[in-house]
A and B are shown apart, each in its own frame.
Chain A
Amino acid sequence: MSFVSNLLLATVRMAVPLLFIALAELYSERAGMVNIGLEGLAAIGSLVGFLVCFISGSTWLGILCGALAGIAVNMIYAVATVSLCADHTVYGMAMNIFAPALASFIYRVYFGAGSDLSQIELMRGIGLPVLKDIPFLGDLLFNQTPMVYIAFALVAFTVVFFNKTRAGLNYKSVGEHPKAAATLGIDVIRVKYLACVICGALAGIGGAYLTTCYSNTYSEGTVAGRGFIALAAVIFGRWSGGGVLLACLFFGFCDALQIRLQVASFGLPYQFFQMIPYLATIVVLAAIGAKKAGPKASGKPYRREER
C-alpha cells in the first residue's frame, strides 16, 4: 500500500513541472508558435529561480523571477520568429543552445568554478483544511505545495478559456487561420507576442519548480529533457488542457516509477530504470501516430502584407 501511495504522490510531484512546461507550449502553439526551445527556457528558469531563492530566501520570489527570466529569454525567440519570420524549429533550437549556456554562465560567475553544491530550502507544502483529511486522496491531492494547486487550477482555467470564452476562441483562431483572424479585427502579431510572454513565463515557472520545489540544488542537467517530453505531452494530449493534464500525469508516473524501481533495484543497473520516461515518450509517440489535431497554422510565419 505504501508503495502505491508513494508512487502516486511522486507522480503528482513529477507531473507538475511537466504540466507547466507543456501548458507553456499549448499556449504557444494555440497562437501558431511552435516553440521547441522549452528545454532552454526551463533551464534559465531553474537557474534564476534557484539563484533568487538562494539570495533572498524566498521561494515565491524565486519562482516569480524564474518566470520573468523565461519571458525575457523567450522575447528573443518572439522577435526572431514573429517579426523576422525565422523558422520556428531552427530558432527554438538556437534558444536551446543559448539559454542553458547563459544559465551555466551565470551560475559559474556567481558561485565560482568547482564550488560545492549550494542548497536552498524547498517550498513547504500547505494542506488545504478539511480536504486534506480525506483518506488517501487527501495526502495525494490536497497536502502539497501551492505550486501543485496552481498547476491544476491553471489546467481548469485553460480548458474554460479556450472553449468557453470569446477571448480564448479569438486566441485560438490566430493559430488556426491567422488571416481570417486578422479580418475579424484581431491583432495577430500582438496575440503571438502575448503567446510568447505566456509561454516564457510558464516554462520559466516549470524550470523554477524543479529547483525550488523538487530538488534543492541546481545542476546543469536539472531539466533533463523535460522540455522535450512536454512537447510530446502536448501532442499526446491532443492540444487540449485536459489532454495535456492526463499526458503529464502519465509521464510523471513514468518518472515516479523509475525512481521507485531504482530504489527497489532488482539487480539491474539503475540506468535502465532511468530510461523509462524517455522510452515511454518514444513508445507513446509511435503508438498515437500522426493524426493531425494541432492548430492548422502552427509553425507557419505570418506576414500582414501577404494576401
Chain B
Amino acid sequence: MEKLKRSLTAFIVPVLSILLAFAIGAVIMALLGASPVQALQYLLKGAFGSRANIGTTLSRATPLMFTALCACFAYKCGVFNLGGEGQFIIGSVAACYVALRSGITGPAAAILCLIAGALAGGLWGAVPGALKITRGQNEMIISIMLNYVATLFMGVVYTNWLRDASVPQTEAVPEATQLPRVVTGMRFTWALVIAVAVGLLLYYFLFWTSTGFKLRAVGFNMTASRFNGFPIKRYILTSFIVSGAIAGLGGAAELLGTQLRLINGFGAGYGFDGVAMALIGQLHPIATMLVAVFFAALRTGSTTMQAATGVPTSVSDIIQALVIVFSVAGMALVKLPEFEAFRLRVFGKRGRKEGVKA
C-alpha cells in the first residue's frame, strides 16, 4: 500500500507539473496574441500528426534518450554527472574519426564507430569520476568544465583537422557506414533501437540484479553502504564511466544516424536536457525515455506551431523548463510533513473509515 502510494505520487507529480507548465505556456501564447487552443493543436499535430511527424519526433528523441539515461544512471549511484554533453560530443568526435579515417566502411565500420564513441565517452566520464574519488573534488564543476573543453575540441576537429574544404564542418559519414532507418518513410534510425535497448538494459541491471541493487544503495545512502563494506569508490568511478559511455555511444549513434557530420552546435544543450529528463522521470530508466519522447515532441511540434500560428518555438523551451521547475519542487513538497498532515486533514475521514473496515 505504501509502495503503491509512493509510485502514484511519483506519477502524479510530473503529470501535474506538465499540465501546469502547459497552462502557463497557454497564457504566454495568449499574451503573444495567438489562440492557445489552436497553437496547442498545431503543436500536437506537428509532433504526432502523421507517420512522418512521429518519425521525426522519435528521431529527435533518440539523442535525448542517451543523455537522459547517462544522467539517470550516474544519479542512481549518487553522483551528479553534468558532463553528458561533453561525453556525447567526444563520443561523436571519436566515431567521426573512425568513420572518416579508418578506411573501412559498411556495417562493420558502424559498429566500430559506436564502440569508439562509447569508449571515448567512458574515458571522458572517467575524469570527473577519478578526480572525485582520488581528490574528493566536486564532480559537477569538473564535468561541466569538460563540456566546454569537449565543445572546443570538436571545434578544432571541424574547423581544422577534419574540415571539409571551405565550410567549417566535417565531411559526411560515408553512406555505407550510416545507421539506416528502421521503417521507410519515418526518420528514426537504428540509433533509436540502440537507445531503447540501452534503457531496457539499465532498467534490468538497476532493478533486477544484485549489483544494480548495491549501486542504488550507494546512491541512496553512501554512509550506510560504506559501513556495509561496499566498495563505494569503485562504484562511483564505474558509474561515471558507464554513464559517460552511454552518452558517448549516443554521440556516435547521432552522428551515424542523423547528423552525419560534425558542425557548430552539435550536441549543444543535450547534457543539461538529459539531467532534466532524468529528474522528471524520477530516475527511472523507462520513465526517463518517455520524458525524452515528450521533450522531443515539444521540439518537433513547436516548429509546426511557429509556422502555423507565429508563436515562437522558444515557448516550448519555456514549457520544458517549467516542467522541471514544477516537478522538482512538487516532489519536495509531497515529502514535507506539513503536506502529509494537510493530506490527512482533507482526505483523513475516508482513511479512518477504511481503517475501521479493515
Contact = CB atoms under 8 A, between A and B. Distances in A.
Q: Do A and B come from one complex?
A: yes
Given A225-B144, A225-B145, A285 B317 contact: no
A279 interface: yes
B149 interface: yes
Interface residues of A, number: 45
B239 to A, nearest CB: 17
Q: A interface, by DSSP: helix, strand, loop or mixed?
A: helix
Interface string B122-164: 0000010001000111101110111011001101100110000
B224 interface: no
Nearest to A273: B152
B336 A286 contact: no
B332 interface: yes
B321 interface: yes
B276 A278 contact: no
Interface of B is mostly: helix
A278 B148 contact: yes
A307 B19 CA distance: 37
A61 interface: no
A290 B137 contact: yes
Contact of B276 (A80, A97, A285, A286): A97
Contacts of A89: 80, 140
A231 B141 CA distance: 8
Interface residues of B, number: 46
Interface stretch (A7-15, A101-109, A158-166, A182-190): A101-109
A84 B136 contact: no
18 contacts: A80-B328, A80-B329, A84-B332, A86-B332, A89-B80, A94-B279, A95-B325, A97-B276, A102-B318, A105-B317, A225-B145, A229-B145, A232-B145, A272-B152, A275-B152, A281-B141, A282-B142, A285-B141
B131 A285 contact: yes
Interface in A216-254: 224-225, 228-229, 231-232, 235
Contacts of B32: 109
B243 interface: no
Interface in B314-328: 314-315, 317-318, 320-322, 324-325, 328
Nearest to B327: A94
B272 interface: yes
B191 interface: no
B82 interface: yes
A91 B324 CA distance: 9
A271 B141 CA distance: 20
A80 B312 contact: no
A35 to B, nearest CB: 12
Contacts of A153: none
Q: Which residue of A80, A97, A224, A281 has the most chain B CB atoms within 10 A of its CB atom?
A: A97
Contacts of B149: 275, 278-279
A232 B142 CA distance: 9
Contact of B328 (A91, A101, A274): A91
Contacts of A90: 279, 328
A87 interface: yes
A96 interface: yes
A289 B135 contact: yes
8 A-B pairs closest in CB distance: A290-B136, A86-B332, A98-B321, A271-B152, A101-B321, A101-B317, A105-B314, A84-B332
Contacts of A231: 138, 141
Interface string A45-86: 000000000000000000000000000000010011000111
Contacts of A42: none
Interface string A175-205: 0000000000000000000000000000000
A156 B136 CA distance: 31
A128 interface: no
A154 interface: no
B328 A228 contact: no
A101 B329 contact: no
Given A235-B138, A285-B141, A94 B328 contact: yes
Interface string A253-292: 0000000000000000101101100110110011001100
A102 B333 CA distance: 24
B275 interface: yes
A147 interface: no
A76 B322 CA distance: 11
B335 interface: yes
A94 B138 contact: no
Contact of B312 (A108, A232, A275, A305): A108
A293 interface: no
A227 B156 CA distance: 25
Contacts of A97: 272-273, 275-276, 320-321, 324
Given A36-B140, A235-B138, A271-B159, A101 B320 contact: yes
A86 B329 contact: yes
B156 A286 contact: no
Interface string A127-147: 000000000000000000000
B103 interface: no
A98 B328 contact: no
Contact of A85 (B146, B159, B332): B332
B272 A93 contact: yes
Contacts of A224: 148
B337 to A, nearest CB: 7
Contacts of B80: 89, 93
Contact of A282 (B140, B145, B336): B145
A274 B32 CA distance: 39
Nearest to B276: A97
Contacts of B140: 36, 89, 228
